[in-house]
Structure formats: structure tokens, C-alpha cells
Structure 1
Amino acid sequence: MNPHKVRYYGEMRDNNFEEMMATVLHVYREVDIVNNGVIIPELGDTVTPSFDEKPGIQAISTTSRELPPVPGKHPSATRDYEYRGLGTLSLLAAIDLHTGIVTEIIRKTHNSDDFIAFLKKLDSSYPGDKNMGIILDNLKVHTSGKTREYLLTVQNRFEFVFTLKHGSWLNIVEMLLSKLARTMLRGIMVKKH
């Protein structure tokens, strides 16, 4: 088989695809209306975070020093091909669609406890009377028993708007995480202390 000749497709597996897509797009339309001053929400500023995780970020360090650019010889910094793996990390992040403010946490794992820790950080970042309509995907940790237990302790604080299966392209934070991966995280080295 020639792998370069294989073509892939996305099969629509969600019976509520159209309805869920319309719900997410409706939230984006509301954000646009609020951001452009067409309507002013009754309770003041609206909080609409778009959330996702970027798992598997490889933390690596060099085995030898990086060489600086040399005019006429090496136009950029030069690194040895060898590196030390320091494990992987997960970035959990949300961008407030009204202000552009990013809330983030870095974790070694990627589970319900990490998601709850993120929700707690998000909760402490905004006044307590604000309801947050979070756009996120259907990852199991977002609806786990632990997550549901935590949500009972902060009733009416978070409202989840789920993107559909194979619909991550509907989540605006995906663009931010993609940009981070292609620019800032690509080739980054960390120093082990």
C-alpha cells in the first residue's frame, strides 16, 4: 500500500450535528452582537470563553550549547540534533471571546482533576455574579463524575456549549492553540533546573 495515496474523510456520526453546529454558531453571533455594541447584556459584561486542551507538548533540553548565528556562515542559531526528553505537558487554555484574555494552566496530566483546576482558575478570574458560557468539545473529562460533582458546588456559574464530534473546527480557541504550536512551541528548548 502507498500511504501517500490514501485519502481520508470525516464521517458525520452525530445525529444532532446540524442542531449542535447551529447552537455554537448562535453563541458566536451573540458574542459578535455584544462586542459590536448592538445589545448590552442585562448583567453587565458577558463572559464567553472558548476552551480546549493541547496535550503532549514535549519538553526537551539540549545536550550541548546552542551556537549563535555567524554572519556569512550560519544565518540562524544552530543546535545539536541530540536532546534530552523531559516528559510531556498539557496546556489547558481558554480565550475570552469578548476581551481576548487567555486563561491557562500547564499540567503534567490530562484528566478530570486538571479540568476542575482550570475551571477553578477561570472562576477566580471573573466576578462571581457572571455566568460563563464555555464553548468546549465532548472530551470525557468535561462530563466525568468528578467534573459534575464540582459543577454542583458552583451552580449556575458555568454553562457548557459543546461542539459536535469531528467539529473541533467550530471552536475558536483551536486557532490560538494551532498558532502556538506552529510558532512558539515549535523547536522550543527548556532548561532543566
Structure 2
Amino acid sequence: LKKGRVGTMTHDYKRHGTTTLFAALDVLDGKVVGRCMQRHRHQEFIRFLNAVEKTVPASKAMHVILDNYAAHKHPKVIAWLARH
């Protein structure tokens, strides 16, 4: 174990009671599209992006702001963003 990382570096670590929230805000209408998922991988993030795409009319432009988390830098996510 590393100093200051109590129990999170073991082989049997589980995220008991934690979840990942993905959220999108429509600034004009004040509507929020949100999804809670068990994991925070690129697969879940792409699923969330697809859900957001279904709620946004084709006539509207979507602006995506991402942090530097690894799931957002995955080649499949970058490809999804390039296609849309």
C-alpha cells in the first residue's frame, strides 16, 4: 500500500457505494440529461453521448466541454466526437 492511499491499491478493492454521474446541460432551456453508471470507462461515456444525441434536435449545435479524464481521451471517444 502507498502512503495516504488506504486500501485503494489492493487487488480486491471495490467501489462500494460509489457511482459515476455523467451530465449534460441545455443552457437555454435549463434541462439536464444525466446518467448514473457503475463504471467510468469510455464505453459508458459513449453510451451517455448517444443518449444526449437522441435528446438534442438535429437543428441544434452541441458544444461539448470535457475534462482531461482518460475515458474522454480514448480513441473511440475521439472518433465519436469527430463523426458528430
* TM above 0.5: yes
Structure 2 match to 1:125 = 55
1:83-141, Cα deviation, whole Å (9 max, x unpaired): xxx63211111211111100011100011011101110110001123221122312221
User: Structure 1 residue 89 and structure 2 residue 22: aligned?
Assistant: no
CA RMSD of aligned residues (A): 2.0
User: Structure 1 residue 135 and structure 2 residue 74: aligned?
Assistant: no
Aligned residues: 70
1:21-71, Cα deviation, whole Å (9 max, x unpaired): xxxxxxxxxxxxxxxxxxxxxxxxxxxxxxxxxxxxxxxxxxxxxxxxxxx
For 1:100 and 1:136, the matched residues in 2 are separated by: 19
Equivalent of 2:81 in 145, 151, 154 = 151
Higher relative contact order (CA 8 A, sep 6+): 1
Please give the residue correspondences for 1:9-88 in structure 2 after superposition, counting only pairs within 5 Å.
Answer: 87-88=17-18
For 1:131 and 1:143, the matched residues in 2 are separated by: 22
SS in 1 for 2:18: strand
User: Structure 1 residue 103 and structure 2 residue 33: aligned?
Assistant: yes
TM-score w.r.t. structure 2 length? 0.69
User: Any unmatched runs of 5+ in structure 2?
Assistant: 1-15
For 2:29 and 2:52, the matched residues in 1 are separated by: 14
Structure 2 match to 1:114 = 44
Matched-pair identity in %: 33
Whose radius of gyration is greater, 1 or 2?
1
Deviation beyond 4 Å, 4+ runs, structure 1: none
User: Any unmatched runs of 5+ in structure 1?
Assistant: 1-85, 158-193
